[in-house]
Amino acid sequence: MSTVPSQTPPRSRGPVRGPVRSRGAFDPEQHRQPLLAALRDVEALLMAREAKSPLSTRELHGILRRHPRQGQGFFSRSQLIAGYRAFAPQVGFAIPEERFIAQLQLRPVRTQSGVTPVTVLTKPFPCPGKCVFCPNDVRMPKSYLSDEPGCQRAEANGFDPYLQTYQRLSAFRNIGHATDKAELIVLGGTFSFYPEPYQIWFVKRCFDALNDFGAGVDRRAEAEDQRLSLQTQTARLHGTELGAGYNKVVARFLETQSGAGLLRDFEHCSWEQLEAAQRDNEHAATRNVGLVLETRPDHVDYAEIVRLRRLGCTKVQVGVQSVSDEILHKNQRGHDVEASRVALRTLRQAGFKLLVHFMPNLLGATPDSDVRDFARLFEDEAFRPDELKVYPCSLIESAELMRFYEAGEWQPYTHEQLLQVLQSVLVTTPRYCRLARVIRDISSGDIVAGNRLSNFREVAQRALGAEQPQVVEMRSREIRDAPFAGAQVELKATRYSTSSGEELFLEFVTQHDRLLGFCRLSLPRVPSAVPELARSALVRELHVYGGSLGLEQRHAERAQHQGLGQRLLHAAARHAHAAGFVDLAVISAVGTRAYYRKRAFVDGALYQHLALGEQGAYADAPSAAAEPDAHHGHNHAAPRTPLASP
């Protein structure tokens, strides 16, 4: 593999300040005349119709054909949006920016869950697992493939956290999405197995990008010097042909990159540096409203949950994969079902949102056994996850599973068998759980055998028909961009038991059961292992759906910023107090700390707290009619307690 000198010092190039614009980006001023003419035609069409009437693709294409770029084809939607933003301060438009962009926005579903998801990948690194189903693409972190969209973006940015985060935010803004509230999703297999200095550095650099992007500062030129130099021609080697194995191949490559060890000199950071970046993000224009990390059940202990909280983590993806010890053993998973039970209990007691991975069609499984095992996820109090990713096993050539396939010991499910399993998944999942994914986005060219339909969820849902049990899992009920009237809102409560205590799922729904917002409240039976939570009920998640709005935006028909979050917190406080708790803790994200401070929560070491009781200020406080500046406070009255070392 090719390498680059590991000790090259960064070139001294200062940050670029001003409007956020991608490198080599489209410059509206160079196309001012035709672009402005196209914008005026769009404006005229919108002015001539009802406010809610959408602009058709045919109408838009007609405008673009009348006003082409000079010898360079036609303007794209993102270029029209860029032109509107560039010219609006100078020439003025009769159509407000929000409405104009809504007509041109690409992929609106990306932010219709209320936040902007920013997915980044850690660099390839040795993995503690030996799972037979896992691909061995040495260009990627273990279990990922270079043809997956997020992986392609990561490789193009050399797995640099700053570059990945900044590029993704720029892409969202360019196609018309709000970037004020970003959920940071860090992928890369077992994050807990990476050295702690790298973990801290990686997350800190993501926060640097959020802070810089919100301030209109672009330091990507500096980060370019630190990109990991990967040889893109590296073959996706067959699992049995790796010779030394994935871990040794990747370790040898990383050692050539760093000169010694697996980390380069700059891939280190102190906790103090990370905390400084986090404090800056509390009031930044682009805030982190959730940090998602992934790990294995056998890497979760007390020290790990403290470390995750210090990083700012609020949700953990846990690769449970199966609830059968026999299946786990056959697939060389490296842990048993009890390890998953313990990990989920430990994480839930610490307030984390739990996103569990479940894999049908593993070696040794059958459609019937998968249906039974999936049902156990909700019958067994030790599981009952908040979210699920259901990834039916697909055969990738570099996986060890190839050997079992060639020997006739494993076969992919037929279309009908997989349909049976996924239909059962849809109708079994309760209303408090969200099916985040049902099929993994793997390029069909990478799949030797197995399902190649990326829309199998839709296929399964359509096949259920009107006479089958109703699908009530959360994602199917999200309000998304549908309008609603505030008077139609109803508060529902679903109570269920876990191995940690009682869970109360509070949700605001419309009269047709469309989900507007929810709160996950934990009422522990036994004190948490975290001393700070010894007497606390826990708000593990507070979320309002609908298209993501800017920090200070309101919209009469959008669920966000209508006061639903505040009302859910009131309901949680009342239930916690009625259950005998004297404190309500919340596992807040870095960018939501100010929101909770404005609602009487005070900072602890790892959580924020609200005193309950007859004299508790919050229980008697009047409900706010709206919260236009949720996550946008500047209250510095509650100093943060220094974080404890793990």
Give the SS3 label for residue 191: helix
575 dihedral zone (left: phi>0; alpha: psi -120 to 50; beta): alpha
- Return the sign of the alpha-carbon dihedral for residues 510, 512, 517, 521: positive
Confidence category of residue 71, pLDDT binned at 50, 70, 90: low
**What pLDDT does residue 187 have?**
96
Helix axes 32-47, 57-66, angle to 10 degrees: 150
Residue 586's alpha-carbon distances to 506, 578, 583, 591, 600, in angstroms, are 15, 18, 10, 13, 12
Residue (of 289, 327, 341) closest to 588 by Cα position: 289
CB 463 within 8 A of CB 419: yes
Token pair listed for 389: 């990713």
Residue carrying the six token digits 């700390």 = 593
For the chain, the first-to-last Cα distance in angstroms comes to 37
Kindly report, residue by residue over 179-208, the tens digit of the pLDDT: 999 999 999 989 999 999 999 999 999 999
501-509 and 515-524 as β-strands: parallel, antiparallel, unpaired? Answer: antiparallel
- pLDDT digits over 478-533, tens only? 988 777 766 678 999 999 999 999 999 999 999 999 999 999 999 999 888 899 99
Cα 60 from Cα 42, distance rounded (Å) = 7
**Residue 194 and residue 544: Cα distance in Å, rounded?**
33
| Residue 428, token pair as written in the block | 């079994």
SS3 of 280, please? helix
Of 62-76, 237-251, 335-349, the poorest mean pLDDT is in 237-251
Lowest mean pLDDT among 309-318, 534-543, 624-633: 624-633
CA distance 266 to 198: 9
- 3 state SS of 202: helix
Residue 176 is given by DSSP the state: T
H or E element: which one contains 215? helix 196-215
- 134 by Cβ neighbours in 10 Å (0-12 / 13-18 / 19+) ranks as buried
Provide the whole-model pTM: 0.84
CA torsion sign for 171, 177, 178, 181 is negative
Determine the Cα–Cα distance for residues 403 and 565; give it in Å rounded to an integer: 52
Highest mean pLDDT among 55-69, 526-540, 632-646: 526-540
Domains of the chain by start residue, with CATH: 26-104 (no CATH), 111-285 (no CATH), 306-429+434-472 (3.30.750.200), 476-611 (3.40.630.30)
**The pLDDT value given to residue 634:** 32
Residue 155, pLDDT above cutoff 80 = yes
- Top-confidence residue, 18 or 464: 464
Q: 17 or 11: which carries more pLDDT confidence?
A: 17
537 token code pair? 């009920």
Question: How far apart are alpha carbons 91 and 149 in whole angstroms?
Answer: 38
Cα 425 vs. chain centroid, distance in angstroms? 22
Rounded CA gap, 83 and 89, in Å?
11
| DSSP secondary structure letters along 60-112 | HHHHHHHS--TTS----HHHHHHHHHHHHHHH--SS-HHHHHHHH-S-GGGGT
CA distances from 176 to 66, 179, 482 (A): 23, 9, 18
pLDDT in tens, 259-273: 888 999 999 999 999
What is the DSSP code (8-state) at residue 297?
G
335: CB partners within 8 A, 6+ apart: 296, 297, 298, 328
Q: How far is CA 171 from the centre of its chain?
A: 16
Strand (E) or helix (H) holding 43: helix 32-47
For the segment 95-144, what is each residue's pLDDT rounded down to a tens digit?
Answer: 787 777 777 765 555 555 678 999 999 999 999 999 999 999 888 999 99
For residue 51, what pLDDT band results from cuts at 50, 70 and 90? Answer: low
Coil, strand, or helix at residue 591? helix
From residue 274, give the alpha-carbon distance in Å to each of 10, 371, 592: 21, 44, 17
- Residue whose tokens read 């199917």: 476
Q: What is the pLDDT of residue 515?
A: 94
Q: Is the dihedral of CA 49, 51, 55, 56 positive or negative?
A: negative
The answer to whether 240 and 246 are in contact (CB under 8 A) is no
- Percent of the chain predicted with pLDDT > 70: 83
Q: CB count, 10 Å around CB of 273?
A: 15
Question: For residue 193, what is the DSSP state?
Answer: G
